[in-house]
A and B are shown apart, each in its own frame.
Chain A
Protein backbone atom coordinates (compact mmCIF):
# COMPACT_ATOMS: atom_id res chain seq x y z
CA UNK A 1 0.00 0.00 0.00
CA UNK A 2 1.41 3.38 -1.01
CA UNK A 3 2.43 5.57 1.88
CA UNK A 4 2.70 2.73 4.26
CA UNK A 5 6.44 3.25 4.45
CA UNK A 6 5.81 6.65 6.17
CA UNK A 7 3.53 5.21 8.80
CA UNK A 8 4.67 6.13 12.27
CA UNK A 9 6.78 9.16 11.17
CA UNK A 10 5.95 12.51 12.80
CA UNK A 11 5.85 15.58 10.58
CA UNK A 12 6.34 18.78 12.59
CA UNK A 13 6.18 22.22 11.06
CA UNK A 14 9.22 24.46 11.37
CA UNK A 15 8.17 26.91 14.09
CA UNK A 16 11.41 28.88 14.24
CA UNK A 17 10.57 31.80 11.88
CA UNK A 18 7.16 32.47 13.38
CA UNK A 19 8.53 32.27 16.90
CA UNK A 20 11.22 34.75 15.88
CA UNK A 21 8.59 37.12 14.58
CA UNK A 22 6.39 36.83 17.66
CA UNK A 23 9.29 37.47 20.00
CA UNK A 24 10.43 40.43 17.94
CA UNK A 25 6.93 41.89 18.09
CA UNK A 26 6.75 41.35 21.84
CA UNK A 27 10.16 42.98 22.29
CA UNK A 28 9.15 45.96 20.17
CA UNK A 29 5.95 46.63 22.07
CA UNK A 30 7.65 46.15 25.42
CA UNK A 31 10.19 48.79 24.48
CA UNK A 32 7.60 51.20 23.11
CA UNK A 33 5.09 50.95 25.93
CA UNK A 34 5.26 53.72 28.50
CA UNK A 35 4.18 52.91 32.02
CA UNK A 36 4.05 56.62 32.83
CA UNK A 37 1.37 57.18 30.22
CA UNK A 38 -1.31 57.51 32.89
CA UNK A 39 0.40 60.67 34.10
CA UNK A 40 -0.26 62.30 30.75
CA UNK A 41 -3.75 63.40 29.87
CA UNK A 42 -4.29 62.44 26.24
CA UNK A 43 -7.22 64.85 25.94
CA UNK A 44 -4.92 67.86 26.13
CA UNK A 45 -3.82 69.77 23.07
CA UNK A 46 -0.49 71.31 23.98
CA UNK A 47 0.45 74.76 22.71
CA UNK A 48 2.80 75.08 19.79
CA UNK A 49 5.84 77.22 20.44
CA UNK A 50 8.61 78.07 18.02
CA UNK A 51 11.82 77.14 19.76
CA UNK A 52 11.44 75.38 23.09
CA UNK A 53 14.19 73.01 24.20
CA UNK A 54 13.61 69.26 23.93
CA UNK A 55 12.50 67.67 27.18
CA UNK A 56 15.46 66.61 29.31
CA UNK A 57 15.77 62.88 29.83
CA UNK A 58 18.12 62.93 32.81
CA UNK A 59 17.07 65.34 35.52
CA UNK A 60 18.08 65.05 39.12
CA UNK A 61 14.78 65.50 40.86
CA UNK A 62 11.24 64.35 41.28
CA UNK A 63 8.34 65.36 39.13
CA UNK A 64 4.88 66.54 40.02
CA UNK A 65 2.95 66.22 36.77
CA UNK A 66 -0.12 68.41 36.50
CA UNK A 67 -2.51 68.25 33.56
CA UNK A 68 -4.69 71.33 33.16
CA UNK A 69 -7.69 71.01 30.90
CA UNK A 70 -9.13 73.89 28.91
CA UNK A 71 -12.23 74.15 31.06
CA UNK A 72 -10.19 74.72 34.21
CA UNK A 73 -9.80 71.22 35.60
CA UNK A 74 -6.71 69.83 37.29
CA UNK A 75 -6.14 66.21 36.29
CA UNK A 76 -3.59 64.08 38.13
CA UNK A 77 -3.03 60.47 37.05
CA UNK A 78 -6.31 60.45 35.19
CA UNK A 79 -8.41 61.79 38.07
CA UNK A 80 -9.82 65.24 38.56
CA UNK A 81 -8.68 67.04 41.70
CA UNK A 82 -11.45 69.40 42.77
CA UNK A 83 -9.60 70.81 45.79
CA UNK A 84 -6.69 72.33 43.92
CA UNK A 85 -5.05 74.32 46.70
CA UNK A 86 -5.45 71.54 49.26
CA UNK A 87 -4.11 68.86 46.96
CA UNK A 88 -1.08 70.85 45.81
CA UNK A 89 -0.20 71.95 49.33
CA UNK A 90 -0.38 68.35 50.55
CA UNK A 91 1.61 66.95 47.62
CA UNK A 92 4.27 69.66 47.85
CA UNK A 93 4.84 69.06 51.54
CA UNK A 94 4.91 65.29 51.09
CA UNK A 95 7.41 65.45 48.23
CA UNK A 96 9.64 67.99 49.97
CA UNK A 97 9.75 65.80 53.06
CA UNK A 98 10.60 62.68 51.09
CA UNK A 99 13.32 64.10 48.88
CA UNK A 100 16.84 63.44 50.10
CA UNK A 101 18.53 66.74 50.96
CA UNK A 102 22.02 65.46 50.09
CA UNK A 103 21.02 64.16 46.66
CA UNK A 104 20.96 67.62 45.12
CA UNK A 105 17.56 66.85 43.73
CA UNK A 106 14.59 69.13 43.58
CA UNK A 107 10.89 68.98 42.93
CA UNK A 108 9.98 69.94 39.39
CA UNK A 109 6.40 70.87 38.66
CA UNK A 110 5.62 69.72 35.13
CA UNK A 111 2.70 71.68 33.75
CA UNK A 112 0.90 70.18 30.78
CA UNK A 113 -1.89 72.57 29.93
CA UNK A 114 -4.33 72.79 27.08
CA UNK A 115 -3.57 75.56 24.61
CA UNK A 116 -7.03 77.08 25.18
CA UNK A 117 -6.69 77.31 28.96
CA UNK A 118 -7.26 80.74 30.46
CA UNK A 119 -4.31 82.17 32.34
CA UNK A 120 -6.27 82.85 35.52
CA UNK A 121 -6.54 79.11 36.21
CA UNK A 122 -2.86 78.60 35.43
CA UNK A 123 -1.90 81.40 37.81
CA UNK A 124 -4.07 79.84 40.49
CA UNK A 125 -2.19 76.54 40.14
CA UNK A 126 1.21 78.26 40.11
CA UNK A 127 0.30 80.26 43.20
CA UNK A 128 -0.75 77.10 45.03
CA UNK A 129 2.51 75.35 44.09
CA UNK A 130 4.59 78.30 45.22
CA UNK A 131 2.69 78.50 48.46
CA UNK A 132 3.70 74.89 49.03
CA UNK A 133 7.35 75.79 48.48
CA UNK A 134 7.83 74.67 44.86
CA UNK A 135 9.69 77.06 42.61
CA UNK A 136 10.86 75.08 39.56
CA UNK A 137 8.34 74.78 36.72
CA UNK A 138 8.60 73.02 33.36
CA UNK A 139 5.91 74.04 30.88
CA UNK A 140 5.42 71.35 28.26
CA UNK A 141 4.81 72.48 24.70
CA UNK A 142 5.17 71.23 21.16
CA UNK A 143 7.81 72.72 18.97
CA UNK A 144 6.70 74.58 15.85
CA UNK A 145 5.91 72.21 13.01
CA UNK A 146 4.95 69.33 15.30
CA UNK A 147 1.22 68.90 15.63
CA UNK A 148 -0.47 66.70 18.17
CA UNK A 149 -2.70 63.97 16.86
CA UNK A 150 -5.83 63.26 18.80
Chain B
Protein backbone atom coordinates (compact mmCIF):
# COMPACT_ATOMS: atom_id res chain seq x y z
CA UNK B 1 0.00 0.00 0.00
CA UNK B 2 2.78 2.39 0.93
CA UNK B 3 4.45 2.00 -2.46
CA UNK B 4 1.25 2.78 -4.28
CA UNK B 5 0.55 5.82 -2.13
CA UNK B 6 4.09 7.02 -2.77
CA UNK B 7 3.55 6.70 -6.49
CA UNK B 8 0.20 8.47 -6.37
CA UNK B 9 1.59 11.41 -4.43
CA UNK B 10 4.63 11.66 -6.67
CA UNK B 11 2.37 11.73 -9.71
CA UNK B 12 0.23 14.36 -8.08
CA UNK B 13 3.23 16.50 -7.18
CA UNK B 14 4.64 16.17 -10.70
CA UNK B 15 1.43 17.27 -12.38
CA UNK B 16 0.87 20.15 -9.97
CA UNK B 17 4.40 21.46 -10.51
CA UNK B 18 4.35 21.13 -14.29
CA UNK B 19 0.78 22.25 -14.93
CA UNK B 20 0.68 25.51 -16.85
CA UNK B 21 -2.85 26.48 -17.85
CA UNK B 22 -2.90 28.19 -21.23
CA UNK B 23 -4.47 31.63 -21.37
CA UNK B 24 -7.72 31.82 -23.30
CA UNK B 25 -6.89 33.21 -26.69
CA UNK B 26 -9.19 35.44 -28.68
CA UNK B 27 -9.15 36.22 -32.35
CA UNK B 28 -9.61 39.00 -34.84
CA UNK B 29 -10.92 37.52 -38.07
CA UNK B 30 -10.25 39.14 -41.38
CA UNK B 31 -11.21 38.15 -44.88
CA UNK B 32 -8.96 39.82 -47.37
CA UNK B 33 -10.15 40.48 -50.91
CA UNK B 34 -10.17 37.19 -52.83
CA UNK B 35 -8.02 38.52 -55.59
CA UNK B 36 -4.70 36.70 -55.38
CA UNK B 37 -1.78 38.90 -54.68
CA UNK B 38 0.46 39.17 -57.64
CA UNK B 39 3.23 41.24 -56.20
CA UNK B 40 6.24 39.45 -54.88
CA UNK B 41 7.01 39.36 -51.19
CA UNK B 42 8.53 42.54 -49.94
CA UNK B 43 6.21 44.67 -52.01
CA UNK B 44 2.72 45.89 -51.28
CA UNK B 45 0.52 42.97 -52.21
CA UNK B 46 -2.95 43.63 -50.92
CA UNK B 47 -5.18 45.39 -53.34
CA UNK B 48 -7.05 48.20 -51.64
CA UNK B 49 -10.67 47.39 -51.03
CA UNK B 50 -11.68 50.29 -53.29
CA UNK B 51 -10.69 48.30 -56.35
CA UNK B 52 -13.47 45.81 -55.84
CA UNK B 53 -15.91 47.64 -53.61
CA UNK B 54 -17.22 51.07 -52.82
CA UNK B 55 -15.58 54.06 -51.20
CA UNK B 56 -12.69 53.15 -48.95
CA UNK B 57 -11.30 55.08 -46.03
CA UNK B 58 -7.53 54.89 -45.86
CA UNK B 59 -5.99 54.72 -42.39
CA UNK B 60 -2.22 55.12 -42.40
CA UNK B 61 -0.21 54.29 -39.29
CA UNK B 62 3.33 55.66 -39.09
CA UNK B 63 5.83 54.22 -36.62
CA UNK B 64 8.90 55.26 -34.70
CA UNK B 65 12.05 53.13 -35.14
CA UNK B 66 11.13 51.49 -31.81
CA UNK B 67 7.83 50.27 -33.25
CA UNK B 68 5.49 52.66 -31.47
CA UNK B 69 2.85 54.72 -33.23
CA UNK B 70 4.38 57.98 -34.46
CA UNK B 71 1.27 59.32 -36.13
CA UNK B 72 -1.97 58.34 -37.79
CA UNK B 73 -3.69 59.63 -40.90
CA UNK B 74 -7.40 59.06 -41.33
CA UNK B 75 -8.25 60.42 -44.74
CA UNK B 76 -7.09 64.05 -44.67
CA UNK B 77 -6.80 64.19 -40.87
CA UNK B 78 -3.47 63.69 -39.15
CA UNK B 79 -2.95 63.24 -35.44
CA UNK B 80 -0.92 61.41 -32.84
CA UNK B 81 2.45 63.08 -33.36
CA UNK B 82 4.07 63.52 -29.96
CA UNK B 83 1.19 61.85 -28.15
CA UNK B 84 1.32 58.74 -26.00
CA UNK B 85 0.23 55.60 -27.91
CA UNK B 86 -2.84 55.18 -25.70
CA UNK B 87 -3.99 58.71 -26.43
CA UNK B 88 -3.43 58.18 -30.15
CA UNK B 89 -5.47 54.99 -30.10
CA UNK B 90 -8.31 56.72 -28.26
CA UNK B 91 -8.17 59.58 -30.74
CA UNK B 92 -8.25 57.12 -33.61
CA UNK B 93 -11.34 55.43 -32.18
CA UNK B 94 -13.18 58.75 -31.92
CA UNK B 95 -12.05 59.97 -35.33
CA UNK B 96 -13.03 56.76 -37.10
CA UNK B 97 -16.45 56.73 -35.48
CA UNK B 98 -17.07 60.33 -36.51
CA UNK B 99 -15.73 59.86 -40.04
CA UNK B 100 -17.69 56.71 -40.74
CA UNK B 101 -20.89 58.21 -39.36
CA UNK B 102 -20.67 61.25 -41.59
CA UNK B 103 -19.63 59.62 -44.86
CA UNK B 104 -20.63 56.54 -46.77
CA UNK B 105 -17.46 54.50 -46.67
CA UNK B 106 -17.81 50.79 -47.28
CA UNK B 107 -14.37 49.63 -46.26
CA UNK B 108 -11.11 50.50 -44.57
CA UNK B 109 -7.67 50.15 -46.10
CA UNK B 110 -5.22 49.94 -43.24
CA UNK B 111 -1.71 50.95 -44.24
CA UNK B 112 0.98 50.15 -41.70
CA UNK B 113 4.62 51.15 -41.49
CA UNK B 114 7.21 48.36 -41.68
CA UNK B 115 8.59 49.34 -38.28
CA UNK B 116 5.28 49.20 -36.43
CA UNK B 117 5.13 46.45 -33.85
CA UNK B 118 2.46 43.79 -34.10
CA UNK B 119 0.72 44.66 -30.86
CA UNK B 120 0.05 48.25 -31.93
CA UNK B 121 -1.13 47.04 -35.32
CA UNK B 122 -3.58 44.65 -33.68
CA UNK B 123 -4.91 47.42 -31.46
CA UNK B 124 -5.54 49.57 -34.53
CA UNK B 125 -7.08 46.65 -36.40
CA UNK B 126 -9.32 45.91 -33.42
CA UNK B 127 -10.63 49.46 -33.50
CA UNK B 128 -11.25 49.25 -37.25
CA UNK B 129 -13.09 45.95 -36.95
CA UNK B 130 -15.44 47.36 -34.32
CA UNK B 131 -16.67 50.22 -36.49
CA UNK B 132 -20.11 50.22 -38.00
CA UNK B 133 -21.38 51.50 -41.30
CA UNK B 134 -24.04 54.26 -41.42
CA UNK B 135 -26.54 51.46 -42.04
CA UNK B 136 -25.66 49.94 -38.70
CA UNK B 137 -23.92 46.92 -40.18
CA UNK B 138 -20.49 46.01 -38.84
CA UNK B 139 -17.43 46.97 -40.82
CA UNK B 140 -16.19 43.82 -42.54
CA UNK B 141 -14.25 45.08 -45.54
CA UNK B 142 -10.82 45.70 -44.12
CA UNK B 143 -7.58 45.21 -45.96
CA UNK B 144 -4.05 45.49 -44.61
CA UNK B 145 -1.25 46.76 -46.76
CA UNK B 146 2.18 48.19 -46.36
CA UNK B 147 2.49 51.93 -46.05
CA UNK B 148 3.87 53.24 -49.36
CA UNK B 149 7.51 53.98 -48.75
CA UNK B 150 7.64 51.69 -45.71
Contact = CB atoms under 8 A, between A and B. Distances in A.
Interface in A6-28: 13, 15, 18, 21-22, 25
B26 A141 contact: yes
A60 B31 CA distance: 15
Interface residues of A, number: 57
Contact of B123 (A40, A50, A53, A118): A50
A129 to B, nearest CB: 9
Nearest to A110: B27
A22 B28 contact: no
Interface stretch (A73-81, A97-105, A119-127): A119-127
A115 B85 CA distance: 15
Interface string A101-145: 000000000101111111110111011101101011111111100
A146 interface: yes
B30 A137 contact: yes
Contact of B114 (A119, A143, A146, A148): A119
Contacts of B12: 25
A49 B26 contact: yes
B121 A142 contact: no
Contact of A140 (B26, B30, B144): B26
A119 B117 contact: yes
Given A13-B1, A127-B41, A131-B36, A25 B118 contact: no
Contacts of A124: 41-42
Nearest to B124: A49
Given A52-B126, A119-B115, A136-B32, 20 more contacts: A15-B4, A49-B126, A50-B126, A51-B126, A53-B28, A85-B41, A119-B118, A123-B114, A124-B41, A124-B42, A127-B41, A127-B45, A127-B46, A136-B29, A137-B32, A140-B27, A141-B25, A141-B28, A141-B122, A146-B24
